Chain A
Amino acid sequence: MSAELDLPAYNFAYLDEQTKRMVRRAILKAVAIPGYQVPFASREMPMPYGWGTGGVQVTAAVLGPDDVLKVIDQGADDTANAVSIRKFFVRTAGVRTTTRTADATVIQTRHRIPEAPLAEHQILVFQVPIPEPLRFLEPRETETRRMHALAEYGLMHVKLYEDIARHGHIATTYAYPVRVEGRYVTDPSPTPKFDNPKMNRCAALQLFGAGREKRIYAIPPYTEVISLDFEDHPFERYRLDGTCALCGSEESFLDEVITDDRGGRMFVCSDTDYCERRRASRPEPAASNAAADVAEMETDRG
């Protein structure tokens, strides 16, 4: 090939149809066996491994020309990586995009589940770094596959028990393991455990893509998803005890923003769309001073 490259036009949503078919087969198998990690021949994508290549491949495989795509990272539509992935699909698929959770048909996410309940016509695509919930207890894939096959999850319960013995709590705050439809112990991706209950009997299809580790798994709509716990130490949904400085929410998951070098801080919703909807419907912000501070910071940074 000459140095003067005549790059071919890429297929709709980047991946060629053969690759999409392969990914879709893996997705179908994943839906048929909820929570089971299906190996798939993950491709090199034009963004680095660890930056959402699994989610991008799943999204590319399920996306149609009529879909409306929303991409979030840390709950926000405007974080750099979310912007970058959204632009990728705008360029390669030309689909419409939105930041409104309710308007999206496909939502690709990293680290959060939107606060607004999802509906049957929606697909939530998670970016997954380490799909194996047992990986930090047992580094070998050969071993962990055997443990899943035998539903041998004692090791995980021992780990949670040791947490309680040492700290008085289960010291897992994100990527908190769940059991799907009473069978497979599954990694919810590194979402805070605050989001775990949203996965249970969720109306939307939840798909999980791990590009580097070459695994896809799924939680079909209305599937039972139970966070692992003990009778005397039930699962606790942790939420920081605070109020969003912008919309006044006392229910949403909060991000902490450091406002100065004297220990000043404020809390704002991690889900930017949720926060904006609330502010739009309630023009009076709960803490007007804090909101003004943020507005000032925004202008400072341009």
Chain B
Amino acid sequence: MYVAAKGGERAIENAHRLLARERRGDPAVPELTVAQIEQQLALAVDRVMNEGSLYDRALAALAIKQARGDLIEAIFLVRAFRATLPRLGASEPVDTSAMTVRRRISAAFKDLPGGQVLGPTFDYTHRLLDTQPTAGPDPAAAHAAPEAGRMPRVTDLLAHDDLIEPSPQAEADAPVGDLTHDPLSFPAGRDVRLQNLARGDEGYLLALGYSTQRGYGRNHPFAGEIRLGEVELEFTPPELGFAVPLGCITLTECQMINQFAGSATTAPRFTRGYGLGFGHCERKAMSMALVDRALRARELGEEARAPAQDEEFVLSHSDNVQATGFVEHLKLPHYVDFQAELGLVRRLRAEFVAAAAAPVKEAAE
């Protein structure tokens, strides 16, 4: 204890200096700029914005640099900064059908109004390490023509004949739940649930979504639609009373279509799971949609037995900043508690040895 404790302050300072040196790496190699990270590690930036719950590319890039590329650490930095910002209000609901689409695919229909737009995707690349980067396609030669005009959402196309449950109508005046201002309680509303999933760890949601596909809460998903593009964000300042545009943000939206057998009062029809995230984040949006649908089990009268259908389990463990903090706090000293346990184990062992050594008493009396 005295050994570990003395010089604690100096040890921390030295550790910080060492960390700074490790972060910089070999000084002969040029230092990364925040702009390079923002531009060339854009998907890492998107993930940090999503799970950090803050749409700011430059700050996310800075966090990645400061965190030496540890994305959960970067997410933590962004969250801690975000927690100090005042909350001005909630934006108007964004209209993703008015999105300037860069990518839009549906796995449910071969063709549909607006067409399939492949956009920038890894999907059909061959995963071969490109040891001669110059041999690849010339980036300058590509030109994306964003699809102009409204592109209807697949789920809305299906809604007309009641084959799929309708999109809930946006209620602009309804209060918006916010986990950062009200602690999670159960059962959680769907708004809070989706916020929790949007902030949730991508790997965790991926594994949970995957588990539903493998039979743990199976709900027969189809990727109804995945779209990526820019939407305008509007905000109504109380003193103006009408909505003013704040700018554009990039979003990825996934509408999963899932079967529903129907019930005594409801005819069979397709249901949906929903995923939405900042930037380009298809894996996250798809996983989120699968888990959202799994969590609707009780609402739809389905038997909820799988982990992904257990709201309390899923939502309580999705936050990687919380998770990493608690797992890693095991590095903190626990010697007081360990000492207490040590005392008990010694006592139990002494009693065990004494009992074993004592002559066996005859049961007959």
Contacts and interface: CB of A to CB of B under 8 A. Distances in A.
A61 to B, nearest CB: 14
Contacts, number: 173
Contact of B329 (A129, A214, A270, A301): A129
Contact of B339 (A39, A76, A240): A240
Contacts of A190: 334, 336-337
Interface of A: 1-3, 5, 8, 10, 14, 16, 18, 39-46, 48-51, 53, 73-76, 78-84, 87, 110-112, 129, 140-142, 167-169, 171, 173-175, 190-194, 212, 214-215, 238, 240, 253-257, 268, 270, 272, 294, 297-298, 301-302
B344 A173 contact: yes
Contacts of B347: 169
B184 A214 contact: yes
Contacts of A112: 336
Contacts of A255: 1, 335-336, 339
A294 B183 contact: no
B341 interface: yes
Contacts of B327: 50
A212 B326 contact: yes
Given A294-B2, A301-B3, A46 B80 contact: yes
Contacts of A42: 183
Interface string B69-97: 00000001001101110100000000000
Nearest to B75: A44
A79 B7 CA distance: 9
A168 B337 contact: no
Interface in B334-365: 334-337, 339-344, 347-348, 351
B257 interface: no
Nearest to B33: A3
A45 B80 contact: yes
21 contacts: A41-B180, A41-B181, A45-B80, A46-B80, A48-B324, A48-B328, A48-B329, A49-B321, A49-B325, A50-B327, A50-B329, A74-B1, A74-B335, A76-B5, A78-B9, A79-B4, A141-B186, A238-B344, A255-B339, A257-B3, A298-B2
Nearest to A295: B2
A193 B340 contact: yes
Contact of A270 (B1, B322, B326): B1
Interface in B87-144: none
A53 B326 CA distance: 11
B12 interface: yes
Nearest to B82: A44
Contact of A257 (B2, B7, B58, B312): B2
A194 B340 contact: yes
B325 A212 contact: yes
A269 B208 CA distance: 47
Contact of B180 (A43, A45, A73, A84): A43
Contacts of B184: 214
A297 B6 CA distance: 10
B8 A79 contact: yes
- A-B CB proximity, top 3 nearest: A49-B325, A50-B329, A48-B325
B73 to A, nearest CB: 9
A36 B82 CA distance: 30
Most buried by A among B58, B183, B321, B328: B183
Contacts of A3: 34-35, 38, 58, 61-62
A142 B186 contact: yes
Contacts of B186: 141-142
A223 B78 CA distance: 41
Contacts of A174: 336-337, 340-341
B182 interface: yes
Given A5-B62, A192-B339, A44 B7 contact: no
B215 interface: no
Most buried by A among B5, B38, B312, B340: B340
Interface in B316-333: 316, 321-322, 324-329, 332-333
A193 B7 CA distance: 30
A1 B343 contact: no
Contact of A16 (B4, B84, B329): B84
Contacts of B276: none
B147 interface: no
Nearest to A48: B325
B213 interface: no
B83 A45 contact: yes
Contacts of B316: 141
Nearest to B4: A79
Contacts of B86: 16, 18
A192 B338 CA distance: 9
A41 B329 contact: no
B59 interface: yes
B84 to A, nearest CB: 7
A302 B335 contact: no
B83 A48 contact: no
Given A174-B341, A256-B342, A297-B2, A39 B325 contact: no
A42 B3 CA distance: 35
A271 to B, nearest CB: 10
